[in-house]
């Protein structure tokens, strides 16, 4: 009988996940219940990705029952399905450190566990990665299984189908793709593929009928028939199968399809995996598993979007624990909400303005545009490459598209930004939320590279606002500048400045002098402008005179303003929340060199290394980019020149 002192006796008894191979059905059920209970209890204290992980509990337990993942290979597409995997592979004791500084990663990391075979953060990579592993296995004369678990919206991306296409063509054996079909990514799934999956789900007799058809066809003694009759029999088999199931997309791609299976029925899931394990010997298999985000925790089932990623909450009541602020001083609006509202206001004035996002309606603030103008807001699913070229097509026909995509995710569409937008000089606006160090999701999600990877592109105007009012002005500027334009802004709340009405555009390529000075020129961008202004005030009290420029534009850079004040000062300091190689500081250094201005230069940016997960304030401190760290660095720099 379960002891009240230890609600996880079976989970705690696991010395190694290989023990699960020998569990009885009753033990498997108990283990799944313990894993789900632990996730609820643990994430309620630490926060983290929640509803997706509750949806994969039974599937994960069944996988460890049938496979040994020290030998076999598994890749979980998008890491926020993998908390059960982490729990079953010896990391339970580290869950109190989940997503915290130097703690357990919220995603899969190859250097965290020998059971994490491939890192996951962005979506739709699993099939290609596992196919690569399978071919490496074959070339090395090995025979272990290779498994990709995809879903949670990831099947909307073209890369997933590129992997399926090659795997089917190669007739890869011991290769299994598990489609975790939960009708969701973060926002509800979109597109015709989701409709196709729904048709399969409604065709619940598919497996039974296919087996009957195949049995009947195989009972025909084809060797005794003429070639024409035999060919007709084979044609009949394929035709009847297509009558029974719409499309047979996966079988046409070369996969043997199994499903759909209730992913929360352990016995059914286990039986389907056993069948897949046998059929994998002859070629690639796709197992279609239907799950529910949040399964086993009713508040998350009712609102899987709200519970996709959560802060700490009361597990019993389901109430999110909110950080108490000063009730007399309301928090400023977030950059995301300011952007969303400004876009709606501008769209009311101009019917050519449309919004595009890649499965991030709420995260980017485009949900506001969707509510106001549903026919002018497009969620393309997890398909950033398509989103960018779709926007280019709109722009080519006179529309004013705004692509709202997180900074880290636009990396996936870099070629399309270069080839389809910039080379053709099409007026697409890119609104890059979550720029800079974002915290708990770690290196796959920090928006550190946008300045570097966009600054090199022709025709593109690149800017970053110092506050939420300037964000609105930059949005208007981007929409009507007549060229591709990108504005990048941080996660979180603004500064609480007045939002001016009406919104006015900025002169393209013109920075802003905030303070005059003679000792140091502090040339700052975006979120670093306010710290630079405050540091200048502090240093002024110490007799160090600092000029402060809000650069606003990285491209075109206001060289005239920067050169003028660099010439009056003894040294230059650049401040940005982005990577140092190729970033804003590089643009300033190049401009000074081209002008023949040789000045001591301190570049305050993220060094050329990975930034792991943790509290953003602590990560900024470690990078020397917190206000306190910057003040010390700049003071010491001035004393040394």
Catalytic-residue membership of 58: no
Query: Token digits for 618?
Result: 């602590």
Tokens 């009759």 locate to 229
pLDDT digits (tens, 9 = 90+) for 100-151: 999 998 889 899 999 999 987 678 899 999 999 999 999 999 999 999 999 8
CB of 363 closer than 8 Å to CB of 334: no
The CATH fold assigned to 335-488 is Rossmann fold (3.40.50)
Catalytic-residue membership of 633: no
Question: What's the pLDDT at 246?
Answer: 33
Question: What's the pLDDT at 510?
Answer: 98
pLDDT digits (tens, 9 = 90+) for 339-366: 999 999 999 999 999 999 998 999 999 9
pLDDT digits (tens, 9 = 90+) for 284-305: 999 999 999 999 999 999 998 8
Question: What's the pLDDT at 315?
Answer: 92
Tokens 């969707």 locate to 370
* Mean pLDDT score of the chain: 90
**Domain limits of the chain?**
9-203+245-299, 335-488, 512-640
Catalytic residue among 99, 210, 292, 384: 384
pLDDT digits (tens, 9 = 90+) for 20-73: 999 999 999 999 999 999 999 999 999 988 999 999 999 999 999 999 999 999
Catalytic residue among 91, 109, 293, 473: 293
The CATH fold assigned to 9-203+245-299 is Rossmann fold (3.40.50)
- Residue 512 pLDDT > 80, yes or no? yes
Question: What's the pLDDT at 552?
Answer: 98
pTM: 0.87
What proportion of the chain, given as a percentage, has pLDDT over 90? 76
| Res. 168 pLDDT band, cuts 50 70 90 | very high
DSSP letter assigned to residue 595: T
Question: What's the pLDDT at 322?
Answer: 78
355: which strand partners? 377, 402
Tokens 């007709």 locate to 232
pLDDT digits (tens, 9 = 90+) for 172-210: 999 999 999 887 544 455 555 555 555 554 444 445 555
Catalytic-residue membership of 293: yes
Query: Token digits for 355?
Result: 């919004």
As assigned by CATH, the class of the 512-640 domain is alpha beta
Question: What's the pLDDT at 241?
Answer: 46
What proportion of the chain, given as a percentage, has pLDDT over 70? 88
CA distance 63 to 244: 30
CA distance 563 to 590: 11
Question: Pairing between strand 546-550 and 512-515?
Answer: antiparallel
H or E segment to which residue 355 belongs? strand 353-357
Question: What's the pLDDT at 195?
Answer: 55
Question: What's the pLDDT at 328?
Answer: 66
pLDDT digits (tens, 9 = 90+) for 466-501: 999 999 999 999 999 999 999 999 999 999 999 999
Catalytic residue among 92, 412, 466, 491: 412
Torsion of CA 160, 164, 165, 167, to 10 degrees: 140
Domains 9-203+245-299 and 512-640 share a fold: yes
DSSP letter assigned to residue 444: G
- Residue 562 pLDDT > 80, yes or no? yes
- Residue 238 pLDDT > 70, yes or no? no
pLDDT digits (tens, 9 = 90+) for 437-466: 998 888 989 999 999 999 999 999 999 999
């Amino acid at each position: 009988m379960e002891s009240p002192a230890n609600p996880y006796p079976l989970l705690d008894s696991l010395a190694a996940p290989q023990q699960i191979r020998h569990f009885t059905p009753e033990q498997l059920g108990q283990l799944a219940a313990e894993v789900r209970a632990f996730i609820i209890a643990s994430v309620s204290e630490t926060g983290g990705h929640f509803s997706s992980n509750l949806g994969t509990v039974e599937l994960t337990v069944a996988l460890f029952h049938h496979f040994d993942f020290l030998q076999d290979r598994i890749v979980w597409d998008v890491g926020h399905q993998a908390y059960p995997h982490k729990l079953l592979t010896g990391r339970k004791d580290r869950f109190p450190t989940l997503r915290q500084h130097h703690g357990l990663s919220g995603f899969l990391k190859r250097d965290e566990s020998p059971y994490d075979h491939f890192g996951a953060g962005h979506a739709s990579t699993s099939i290609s990665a596992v196919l690569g592993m399978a071919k490496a296995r074959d070339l090395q004369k090995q025979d272990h299984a290779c498994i990709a678990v995809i879903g949670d919206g990831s099947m909307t991306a073209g890369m997933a189908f590129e992997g399926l296409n090659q795997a089917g063509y190669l007739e890869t054996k011991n290769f299994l793709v598990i489609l975790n079909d939960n009708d969701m990514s973060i926002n509800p799934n979109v597109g015709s593929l989701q409709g196709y999956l729904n048709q399969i789900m409604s065709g619940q007799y598919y497996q039974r009928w296919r087996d009957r058809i195949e049995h009947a066809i195989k009972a025909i003694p084809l060797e005794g028939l003429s070639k024409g009759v035999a060919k007709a029999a084979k044609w009949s088999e394929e035709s009847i199968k297509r009558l029974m199931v719409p499309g047979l997309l996966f079988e046409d791609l070369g996969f043997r399809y199994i499903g759909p299976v209730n992913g929360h029925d352990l016995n059914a899931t286990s039986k389907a995996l056993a069948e897949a394990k046998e059929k994998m010997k002859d070629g690639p298999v796709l197992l279609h598993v239907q799950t529910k985000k949040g399964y086993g925790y009713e508040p998350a089932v009712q609102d899987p979007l709200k519970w996709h990623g959560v802060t700490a909450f009361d597990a019993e009541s389901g109430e999110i624990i909110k950080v108490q602020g000063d009730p007399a001083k309301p928090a400023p609006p977030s950059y995301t909400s300011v952007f969303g509202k400004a876009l709606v206001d501008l769209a009311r004035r101009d019917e050519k303005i449309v919004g595009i996002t890649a499965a991030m309606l709420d995260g980017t603030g485009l949900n506001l545009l969707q509510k106001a103008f549903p026919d002018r807001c497009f969620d393309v699913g997890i398909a950033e490459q398509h989103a960018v070229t779709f926007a280019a097509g709109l722009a080519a026909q006179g529309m004013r598209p705004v692509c709202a995509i997180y900074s880290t995710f636009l990396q996936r569409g870099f070629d399309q930004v270069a080839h389809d937008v910039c080379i053709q000089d099409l007026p697409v606006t890119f609104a890059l939320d979550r720029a800079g160090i974002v915290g708990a999701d770690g290196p796959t999600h920090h928006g550190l590279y946008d300045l570097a990877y966009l600054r090199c592109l022709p025709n593109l105007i690149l800017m970053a606002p110092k506050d939420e009012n300037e964000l609105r002005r930059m949005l208007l500027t981007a929409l009507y500048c007549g060229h591709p334009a990108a504005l990048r802004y941080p996660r979180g709340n603004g500064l609480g400045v007045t939002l001016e009405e009406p919104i006015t555009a900025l002169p393209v390529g013109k920075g802003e002098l905030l303070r005059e000075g003679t000792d140091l020129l502090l040339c700052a961008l975006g979120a670093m402008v306010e710290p630079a202004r405050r540091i200048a005030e502090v240093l002024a009290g110490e007799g160090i005179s600092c000029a402060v420029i809000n650069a606003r534009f990285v491209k075109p850079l206001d060289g005239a303003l920067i050169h003028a004040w660099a010439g009056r000062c003894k040294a230059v300091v650049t401040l940005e929340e982005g990577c140092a190689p190729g970033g804003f500081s590089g643009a300033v250094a190049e401009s000074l060199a081209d002008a023949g201005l040789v000045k001591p230069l301190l570049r305050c940016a993220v060094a050329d290394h990975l930034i792991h997960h943790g509290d953003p304030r602590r990560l900024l401190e470690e990078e020397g980019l917190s206000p306190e760290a910057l003040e010390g660095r700049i003071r010491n720099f001035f004393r040394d020149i």
